[in-house]
Amino acid sequence: MPDAPGDQHMKGGQMQNKKQRPLILVTNDDGIDAKGFRELIGIAREFGEVAAISSQIPMSGMSHAITIKVPIRVRTVLDEEGFRLYQTTGTPVDGVKLSFHTLLGRRPDLLLSGINHGSNSSASILYSGTMGAVMEGAVNHIPSIGFSLLDYRPDADFGASAGVAREVIRLVLEKGLPDGICLNVNIPSLPASEIRGIRFCKQANGYWREEFEKRTDPNGHSYYWLTGFFHNREPKGGGIGTDEWALANHYVSVVPIQTDMTAHAFLEVMKEWETSGIKHGA
């Protein structure tokens, strides 16, 4: 039987290329010392070679921000067989861009972001640095997954998250993702025995109601601190099939997200508005 492509060895006196393990890029938005980041690196190393990059400070809420007005610095923290760790002054998306275009010797086979300390369900995806990095991966045609645990504590228990991450990573490596599609995975903060399973969901219709607390600093100057709460616009007790419903009912939610943000259904409606020309004047 002939060798499978890329799975060759010493044969007939000639050295053939041995099949490479997948190269997995890991990033996050909680900073290089975050417990969830270190957990995800350990899980990723079970599946392939790993390159990891994170900012030196937390970058939560940075969404898809990039650095354009100041230099971006990168430091190699660790370089060993099968694993490299980089620290950057940039945002999560900066780190992904640097990895794709400068730091890695080849394109990664998979991008993982997280495990985030806190939820990124529903409208939170719009603000999330965790998911900003994931979207950047999808834009660059790399299968990408974001993981978040519904626990903001620095010392959160990631025991159940590890099993979830392994299962989702295995599925994506086996089945792949369509080009431009990435996954937003949110995990209840529960023992593994209390998680009822994984649900593939749609994003809940909700938003954050911001409130700004006016405070005074020691010098007597006023400043504002962002607070607020999440408002779920789904019917009370409903929202079945959404990520918020799944999480409230002790399921892991997995939402497929696409980089094409066109509202295709409404676009068809808008075509009825089209005219043959633009009218000038009153």
Note down the domain range covering 185.
23-205+236-273
List pLDDT tens digits, range 149-168: 999 999 999 999 999 999 99
Confidence of residue 143 (pLDDT cuts 50, 70, 90): very high
Using alpha carbons only, what angle is made at residue 274 by residues 268 and 275, rounded to the nearest 5 degrees?
A: 160
Residue 95 within any structural domain of the chain: yes
Q: Contact, 209 vs 229, CB < 8 A?
A: yes
Note the pTM of the prediction, 2 decimals: 0.86
Residue 15 within any structural domain of the chain: no
Residue 223 within any structural domain of the chain: no
Q: What is the CATH number of the domain that holds 113?
A: 3.40.1210.10
Torsion of the alpha carbons at 225, 229, 233 and 236, rounded to the nearest 10: -170
The whole-angstrom separation of Cα 265 and Cα 262 is 9
Higher-pLDDT residue of 11 and 107 is 107
* Overall domain count for the chain: 1
pLDDT value, residue 18: 54
Q: What is the mean pLDDT of the chain?
A: 88
226 burial (CB, 10 Å; 0-12 / 13-18 / 19+) is exposed
Residue 259 within any structural domain of the chain: yes
Residue 282 within any structural domain of the chain: no
Q: Is the pLDDT of residue 7 over 60?
A: no
Per-residue CA distances from 50 to 84, 91, 245, 256 (Å): 7, 20, 34, 24
The whole-angstrom separation of Cα 168 and Cα 54 is 22
Residue labelled with tokens 């929202």: 239
Q: Nearest to residue 148, comparing CAs of 252, 48, 45, 23?
A: 252
Residue 31 within any structural domain of the chain: yes
Residue 10 within any structural domain of the chain: no
Residue 216 within any structural domain of the chain: no
DSSP string, 184-219: EEEE-SS-GGG---EEE-BPP-EEEEEEEEEEE-TT
List pLDDT tens digits, range 28-86: 999 999 999 999 999 999 999 999 999 989 898 888 999 999 999 999 999 999 999 99
List pLDDT tens digits, range 176-222: 999 999 999 999 999 999 999 999 999 877 766 667 788 898 998 88
The token duo for 47 is: 């599946």
